[in-house]
Every structure is written in C-alpha cells, then in structure tokens.
Homo-oligomer: A and B are copies of this chain.
C-alpha cells in the first residue's frame, strides 16, 4: 500500500491518555495518516511524531474522518463542527452515546450500522466490557430479570484521566484499592442500561460498582448473572463460542478466567465463565477483561474507523 493511499484523519484532544494511545495506534496504521492532532494545553508539543495544534485551529475539512477524544461536555460541540464541515466523526466522549443521531459503536453488535454511519458514538470503557459479556446471554433470554445483575468493575488509573488531582497521585494510589461512584451513581450506568435494552431486550435491574486499581491500564469486570435455567461451564462457553465465532477481537476462554495481562495493549475482550456452586437458583459468573485505553477507547475507535473507511477491520490493531 503506497503513501498516496493513506486516508487522512484528524484527532481532537490528543494529550490525554486516550488521545496519546490513539496517536500511537494511528502512527502504526497501514491505511490512515494523521492530518492534524489538537491539544490546547500541549499545543506545540510533539507526540508520536505529531505536532499538536489548538483545537480551534484544526483544519477539519482536511481530514476524511475526525476522532474526538475531547472531554465529556466539550466534545459534542466540536463533533457538530466536524459534521457541519461535511466530515464523518467518531466521538470517544460520552456526549453522543445517548443521541439518536449517532450509531452506538459497540463494533461486534453494530458492524453494518457503523460502516454506514456519519457519526459513531464510541462506547464507554466499562459498558464495552459489560455489554460484550452480557449480550450473548441476554439475547438468548437466559438472564433472570426478576433478580439483579451485579457488576463489580475495577479500572486502572488511566481511566480517570491525566489531569493532576491529588487522589490520583502515585503516593495515594499505590498499594491502595477503593470503590467509587458506588450505589449506582456512575455516569456509565444509563449508557449500559440503554444498550442492554436495545441490543439484548433486557430491562431488569443492574447494580454497578466501579473500583480504582493500582495499575496503569486495564479493566476487569466480575459480572454476577442470575440465570433463567442452569448452564454448566461447557454449555456456557459453547454459547459464547457461537455468539463470537469468527470475531477477531473477542477471546472466549475455556476452563480459565481472564486477567488484565491477557488484554493490555490489545484490542481484545477476554471472557471467561463459571457457574456458581452451592446456591439455590442458577447463576453464572462472567469475567470480562479489556484494556481501557484500547478496546475500551482508542482501539475500538480505530476498529470503528476502519469499518467506516472500508479498511480491514483490524488494520493497525493487535487483537
């Protein structure tokens, strides 16, 4: 593939952890090149070979597609500018995720819609792992909606952003572990619920509790699923095998449970299941692991971008 074939893409908000990861992935992408990258506070700096400019100076129309890693509450406005300039967009912020104008880009469940989309709302990191774990069960009607799904999720600190805050200092986070936004107060929950209903027809209760892990990257979710009927381990694994047959970015483990190190630096979700012994009603524990910066953000954005541009879906990605 020669240089003339590279599709020019733009990146808004490139100095945070997600933006940096996106530049890193695009730097090694065989089919796209970075037309511009913005970062107001870091304008003038060079990251991954790219000199950053101010967002208001971005030549939006010089790109065929623009990916926005701007903060929630800011991103939406610039995504509208991109659309107004006649360009397609992937919004990695939460701003477009509940919007009817955007395709919710959980790639494995939205492939044809993403390919045609003018605007893709890239899913949140926590919902990405939870949905990939739950939708195969939900679509088979296997989740008992009279009982609650309980999700305990733990994320590396890059998920909390790169702005200096005392509670994110190494001296505070190292050797620590804590829950936050407990009691169903995390802003990812409505997004998760909406997608569970839309894609899985599931309208039951969900309890979602995120935790802050003393690691740089990675999300592990331990998902407690009440079942409508018993599933042994082989049957549960087979169900996931079927649901994800041929999927390049989903790894279904057999007789094993995933760990962060199975997924970091990869655009992959790893899934493992085990039935729960010694309880009266059938339950399945599903463990899902992703890299919050890759499959949970920049990697999935590239996966969606590839589909939108007609490139091979995993171009530039290690799955």
* A contact residues vs B (CB 8 Å cutoff): 17, 28, 147-148, 150, 152, 154, 156-158, 162-166, 168-180, 182-185, 189, 205-207, 209, 211, 213-218, 220, 222, 224, 226, 257-261, 264-265, 274-281, 283, 285, 287, 318
Contact = CB atoms under 8 A, between A and B. Distances in A.
Given A162-B171, A176-B260, A260-B175, A209 B285 contact: yes
A216 B174 contact: yes
A318 B28 contact: yes
Contact of A260 (B178, B180, B184, B189): B178
Contacts of A318: 28
Contact of A274 (B182, B226, B260): B182
Given A162-B169, A182-B257, A207-B276, 9 more contacts: A154-B211, A171-B216, A174-B215, A175-B260, A176-B260, A178-B260, A207-B279, A209-B222, A213-B214
A197 to B, nearest CB: 14
Contacts of A184: 276-279
Contact of A169 (B164, B180, B265): B164
Given A177-B154, A259-B178, A285 B183 contact: yes
Contact of A220 (B172, B177, B276): B177
Contacts of A179: 220, 222, 257, 285, 287
27 contacts: A17-B171, A28-B318, A150-B224, A152-B152, A156-B175, A158-B171, A164-B165, A164-B168, A164-B169, A170-B173, A170-B216, A171-B216, A175-B215, A175-B260, A177-B259, A178-B259, A182-B222, A183-B274, A183-B276, A183-B277, A184-B276, A184-B279, A205-B278, A209-B224, A211-B222, A214-B214, A265-B265
A158 B176 CA distance: 14
A170 B220 contact: no
A224 B207 contact: yes
A285 B215 CA distance: 24
